[in-house]
Structure 1
Amino acid sequence: MPYAVGQQQYPQEPQYQGPPQQYQQQPQQQYAQHPQQYPAEYQGYAPEHPQQPQHPQQLHPQHQQQYPVQQQHPHHQQPGYDGQPDQVWDTGQGQQAVPYGVDPYAQQAVAYPGETPDGYATDTAYPPPQPPGRRHLVPEPSTEWQDEVAEPEEESLLPAGGGGDGDEPPSGGRRGGRGKGKDGKSKGTKRTGSACLIAALVIVGAVGGVGYYGFSYVKAKLGMADDYTGEGTTSVDVEIPKGASLGQMGAILQKAGVVASAEAFVNAAQEHPKGSGIQPGLYPLRKQMSAKSVVEVMSDPSKLNVIIVAEGLRNVQVYGAIDKKLKLQEGTTAELAKREVKTLGLPAWAEEGQNIKDPLEGFLYPARYDLTTGITPQDLLKKMVKNATEKYAALGIEGKSKDLGLKSPLEVVTVASLVQAEGNKHEDYRKMAAVIYNRLKPTNNVTMQRLEFDSTINYIKGTSNINVSREETRSIEDPYNTYKVKGLPPGAISNPGIDALNAVLSPDKDGWMFFVSVDGNKTTFSKTLAEHNKLVEEFNARQAQKKQQQSGG
């Protein structure tokens, strides 16, 4: 019996479970030839469908003749059933039992009452599968079908089809690339041009971005950051906080209008030998300075707009530095300190001594003091006294003074100032403190409780001579002359630092009684007068030789 698929009829090739039997082939003339054939890749296609449609198509025995091909039209249901058993045929997905005369691929959806729509008659449908007996037949596809059904195009590394667009395929072969439209122009040409344009824009943007950042990197590496030239214009004070990095310093300077860019300052600081040692503080600068000029100023501590009280400085030196930094008339700060001494925050025990030349001596604590805009000498003196008072309280000198054999905390500060003035190095401070304590003892029968320190003569005179003449030590009448007055001077002779203070609180216990400054840098200590006299003779011999060399004799 003929087999109906869509609008074609093909011979049925049944498969039997029992012994093979001969079955009659239908004449070749019974099969209608379809005017179109389909590519091989569509053969055997079997969309999902129920194995037993609810509306099977049947062929009446009287309708077993050829029908003309009718595209896009549903099948006619044929009434009746001839009672033939179901046939089994291979669909390419396993054997399935199908009722005789039923299209296994018919859609279940019913387009019209009493009709089953043809699922292969739509424009977008896949072609129906070939029956098993006809799958080996692959006719040459027609040109008309190729125009309507475009084959999947091959992937290309080039955008929009690459350069093979519109090429004619070789004779008898499959078309490659894109086909041509009805106007003869290659399909996808417009899209190819747009894609190339977009790709070109992306490439240009990428190259431009890389070039910009590359130039910026090279510019920074070569020190090509924005920079001014010259020494600047108007004056401006810039304060650099503690802990600021070079980059943060540059940002502050740029914001103040001093440098053109922070990068220029960082580059200049890295190239300068002392650029990494720039200290925080207030700097007197100018606007629109070159980064190199700014680094030159800021790397010089003397240009820093601060007051630095070094260990061992006397008050007269500190007063002069304040006048100079604040651009005041000489003597202004000294006069203010004398007049406003009771308003500067001194502790009550600071004025216990008599004949004190300067009650602030020993209370201007060694440290660095930043000069902010609008600061006054009185502000600075208050800060210094406050620092000293807090440090002395932290060391506990009030409670320890009695344990050291001293009369008051003021004498602790006085001893520390003497140790600071006579000791040249920190390792000498504890020995120097021992000398002072041993000479103050009532058992001292060599100097008779006199210290005999040259530093006290220099304090009276306002000098710093290493060699004080014997005549001076005997002729000067002053409470601070330790050659003539027993015990300590009335007050401190300098501003001691923390190491001198600690040495006073913990002196050496080896019984040092004498010392000689050999060359101004090295100090030699001794315990007996004989050892001391020998050292003094050696010192005098070196001094005489030095004078002779200086005179050219």
Structure 2
Amino acid sequence: MTEYGRGQGSEPWHPEDPLFGDGGWEGQQQAPSGQQPAYGGQPQHYPQQPQQPQYGDWGTGDQAGYGQAQQYQQQYNQQQYGNQGHQQYDENGWPTGTHAQAPYPDPADPYAQQAAGYDGQQPDYYGTPDAYPPPEPPGRRREEPEQRTDWDPGPDQGEHAFFAGGDDDDDSDEPGRADRRGRGGKPKKRRSGCACLVVVLVFGGGLAGVGYFGYQFYQDRFGAAPDYAGDGTGESVTVEIPKGAFGSEIGRRLKTAGVVKSVDAFISAQQQNPDGDKIQAGAYLLKKEMSAASAVELMLDPKSQNNLIIAEGSRNTRIYGEIDKRLGVASGTTAKAAKAKYKDLGLPDWALDHPNLKDPLEGFLYPSSYAVSKGQKPETILKEMVARANDTYEELGLEKKAKSLGLDGPWELLTVASLAQAEGTSHDDFRKMAEVVYNRLKAGNPQTYGALEFDSTYNYVKNQSKIDLTIAELKQYNNPYNTYYVKGLPPGPIDNPGEEALKGALNPTKDGWYYFISLDGKTSKFTKTLAEHEKLVAEFNESRNGG
């Protein structure tokens, strides 16, 4: 049915048609529910027209039918163009004037064509692009919707296609696949089952990773630290603990060596042991896969320490030999390395470029405990000893306090400490022994007149430790280290003094001591005059002769 309410054939209008009758179509009655009004939703005004009669019911011939058609056309035109002012119409019902518009006749209605003046010679607009339905007036036209470029491809073109189970190259023209093609006849992209498998594996791996790290987080926060059980296996391992290492550093080194299973387990065991904070620096001989508690107990046992112990007052020649034995190298290897590389081992500036030195490293192989094991280089161990000496000397303030003691610098202060260490027999002797040195060094003293006369300096240059020495022998040997032959201090330290001897040199007594002697080899007796000293020497000789 057309918008003009006239059908294409001979079938009459049905009473249920919304355009049938005079049901108030003057803009009052709306289209039935579910139908959109024509021309953009605006109500259309149609003339009231009676039901089309069948052929043969048009009155008495063509005139009756023609006149009735004219009457309908005139009523329609008046309603259609009634809003254009006082429009005049001719006898046929058409608008008059220069601006009159001819309505579009119904091509199926011969009476409408005759009323419009169509005689078969006019062009047929229904076969052209301007065909019915007629264009809307400009005021009622709607703008064409703007083409959107940010459109969602929809499930067939986007996400759904990934899980559709196809692949990207499925462009087969086999029958039955036309329904799987996208718009425009292009085949839809499909994903293979491998893609789905990859997604599943990725998601599964992510969940597994979350679970693993969640478990680790729980173990770190709330679970017991991993630990071995028992006293360890039969395999032994040496672990070096540096100076100043705390529980976490010690635990890390033990775990790396395979002794304990975790650092946290060691820290916990160390805290639970009353003496756990007494673990010292050095090398420890332990077993692999020990419980943390067993490792702490063994490290507190002196038997587990596998360190090289440098005793206070040791000379460098002795230290070099002990290092050679620990490293398993030929005798003299460490001494050669010390002589060739002493300037590269970390000596301070004030310890360099002193003349007539027997060994530039004497006094800088600080007495302590050192981890020495096969495979290490001699210079590595020597460098650690020098570093320990530097730290101690700086802490005690040798460089700052030397001048206040009447010395030229820390080098002479270190030499005084080595003399006190060599001649003293106990820690109580060091302060008195240091005073003896300072008093004898005074050029105008009435006892020695600036001569030091220590047997230990002669023994050092001879690399011996004798006590039965004659005055003639001592005074005849010409050597810078022989304080019987040369006044003043020797060229440098004669041993490696410990902390107590250093403190004694820094804080000597002030009682006026010039002489000393040990009658039993354990304690020393000090005197202020030569007469008192000679009396003690006679007692000593008498005791040795059995008198």
**Higher Cα radius of gyration:** 2
**TM-score in terms of structure 2 length:** 0.49
**TM-score in terms of structure 1 length:** 0.49
